[in-house]
Amino acid sequence: MLIIPAIDLQNGAAVRLLRGAFDSATQYGDPAEVLRGFAEAGAAWTHIVDLDGAKAGAPVQHELIARLAAETDLSIQCGGGVRARGHVEALLAAGVARVVVGSLAVRNPNEVLHWIASFGAERICVALDVRTGADGWDVATDGWAKAGGLTLNQALGAFPPGTLRHALVTDISRDGALTGSNVALMAELTRQRPDIAFQASGGVASLDDIRAQRAAGATAIIIGRALYERRFTLEAALAV
């Protein structure tokens, strides 16, 4: 299982949010320095979210992301406001290894299927951010500000087996809260869709969360606040 440390970018700084609230950002300094720390610890990948882009509905910090990609050997998975083919092309040209598509994957999955066919399944990751709803898990969009109108199962059902390879699923209620990872949700997803490599996100607070997600079948886990708050070291997470 891959350990993927995360950076959220807001106004050029590395931050983390609490449950996706833009006014809850805690700043953690220069993103280039944060990435250097990740690389020195032995990470292979990092997950970067352009929060300003997610709010605006189009990538905002493209120049910064390109500079970060040029300065690091880490493979970058990046999203935030990706709504058009040109956004994907620009991020890939900037050195991003995998582009994360969220809201559009819910609203227009056929378009995202075309991107997967064009750029390759390894270059696109669909992000599905979920809250508990009347019929299970409901998908949120637009930086978690709006209801997507679909359940998680419906959103995944738009991507038949053999199309989507990577999916990042975040339990919004746990994101940045250090309350523990949603292992039951991951176990259900990996059982239902073994064709998809699922990444777990939201609530990681201890090394036990990493062990539990690995046992549940997650192929990767996104870790943010727990690292910044020094709940454990990245080296320890990688050792797990």
Asked about 129 being catalytic, the answer comes back as: yes
Using the 8-state DSSP alphabet, how is residue 12 labeled? T
* Half-sphere exposure in the Cβ direction for 205 (13 Å, CA): 11
129 membership: H or E segment, kind and range: strand 124-133
Of 30, 50, 52, 129, the active-site residue reads 129
Asked about 175 being catalytic, the answer comes back as: no
Rounded-to-integer distance, Cα 124 and Cα 100, Å: 6
Nearest to 4 by CA among 77, 85, 111: 77
User: What is the CB neighbour count within 10 angstroms for residue 218?
Assistant: 25
Q: Which residues are catalytic?
A: 8, 129
